[in-house]
Amino acid sequence: MKQTLFLSLSGLGLIQCQDQLDNNQILEQFITTFTDFANSLNGTATPYQAAQKIIPALINYQEYAVDIALVNQIRELNINKTLIDSVLEAISNADSRSFGLIDQQISSLFYNLDNPVCYTYFSEGIAEIYSGYAKYKKFLNNEDQQATEFQQFCTSEPNYSNFLDDLIGLVEGTGECDLLGAFYNGDPQSNFYAGWRDALADRAGYLIMYISMGVAQQTGCNSYNSSLDQDQIDFNNQYYIDALVRVIQRVIEFDIQAQQSVAFTMTQNLVQLMSDNPGLSLEVFSENFNGYALNVIYSELLVTLGVTYISSEEGDFYSECWNCINASTGDYSGIAAWLSNSSTSSLSSDLDLQQYVTESSTPQDIATAIWENVGDCISGIWIFNSSTPHSVDSAFGDRMINSKGEVYDIYVWGVQEDCLGRPAPVEQ
């Protein structure tokens, strides 16, 4: 009975209509999610908190990326012109605000890595895809209903797929060039710091946008290639669709890695900042490189930095803290700690820290008294000898209490979300 009904519906063309309706809805969702993704790209030198917009948009787009070949049916599926105009505008705007900076950074990055051929893969791939897109866009917005100019492009550029393969390889890291690895490792000369999540997501996202454009055009060229039968067209299309899905997933994985390796990359970045900026006063160093470097690189966190001169005695500074790292090089010795920017203070604003200082108490004794009296919802304690030059720049706000005394300057911070108990002292 089901088979008879199916055959009857097929004969009436109703199954085909249902498939067309489904493809119409799928293509609309593809265009919508891709538009949102392109609009999320930041394109500035300091893309503050960009990853918080880009990665969710990329994950939403990833769900529909497998349907990218449907773009070539945009005329048959009668997609709303407003939707088409919105995606073309999103691509144009993202390209305008992003290309110049990203081109310069990738050129500098691979020049410093002594691997300029990797930049060549980027520049040639972008140029080739953009040239094809200029013709493909006319088909999409109905200026060239028969896609005549785009078909001519496909015929005149038989090596198009090679350029696309090279651009995919940059993001996938399958050959001699690994752009995501280079982004993650950082290159301060190219204005890239290790583990800079926002910059990585933004620059990699731009390449995902172009690879998506390239894959859409490649599937279009496949359909116009008279030397291919339908099985070959399907096989070639699937090859590039699979590649698109893989590079999207790799960007998402690197984003996760950046979030999970804060201690490692912050240590690396702090050492780099110390090495690159000798001779500054402690206050100038802490204010500039905490407020305008660490808190920018780790924009989803709140970072506090304490610095002394490297010549300070071991007993001049004592610390116990969760989520903190220390680094010493050049003129400076420093310690950085971080909290979630969505956390809530666990400390009373009128907490008197000097009450725990006695004539005979050591920094360890003071820390013990604070832990015993204030409770487990303390995230860290720093105690500086008051006579030792030091500077603390904090983004913790009311999550930190500090008290300057005749003998010790004490800094304590805590949040309600992290009641982890007392950590071991941090080795200086």
pLDDT tens-digit map of 350-403? 999 999 999 899 999 999 999 999 988 999 999 999 999 999 999 999 999 999
The amino acid at 114: D
CA distance 211 to 128: 11
Pairing of strands 408-413, 301-309: unpaired
3-class secondary-structure state, position 112: helix
User: Given this model, what pLDDT does residue 20 score?
Assistant: 55
Contact 37, 61 (CB under 8 A): yes
CA distance 228 to 243: 20
**Closest to 384 (Cα-Cα) out of 270, 307, 287, 271:** 307
Percentage with pLDDT > 90 across the chain: 89
What percentage of the chain's residues is helix, strand, coil (to nearest 5)?
60, 15, 25
What are the tens digits of pLDDT across the range 321-361?
999 999 999 999 999 999 999 999 999 989 999 999 998 99
DSSP 176-237: S--HHHHHHH-BGGGTB-TT-HHHHHHHHHHHHHHHHHHHHHHHHHHHH-TT--HHHHHHHH
Burial code of 69-81, b = ≥16 C-beta within 10 A, e = fewer? bbbbebeebebee
What pTM was estimated for this model as a whole?
A: 0.92
User: Given this model, what pLDDT does residue 10 score?
Assistant: 40
Contact 394, 337 (CB under 8 A): no
- What does the block give as tokens for 151? 């078909």
**CB proximity list for 4: less than 8 A, separation 6 or greater:** none
Instruction: Enter the DSSP assignment of 143.
Output: S
CA distance 263 to 380: 15
Element (H, E) at 88: helix 81-112
What are the tens digits of pLDDT across the range 290-311?
999 999 999 999 999 999 999 9
Other C-beta atoms closer than 10 Å to the C-beta of 57 total 20
CB half-sphere exposure, 258, CA atoms < 13 A: 30
Average pLDDT score over residue span 204-228: 96
Q: Which residues of 322-399 form beta strands (DSSP E)?
A: 324-329, 332-340, 380-385, 390-393
Angle at 68 between CA 247 and CA 220, to 5 degrees: 110
CA distance 232 to 110: 37
Phi/psi for 310 (5° steps) reads -65, -15
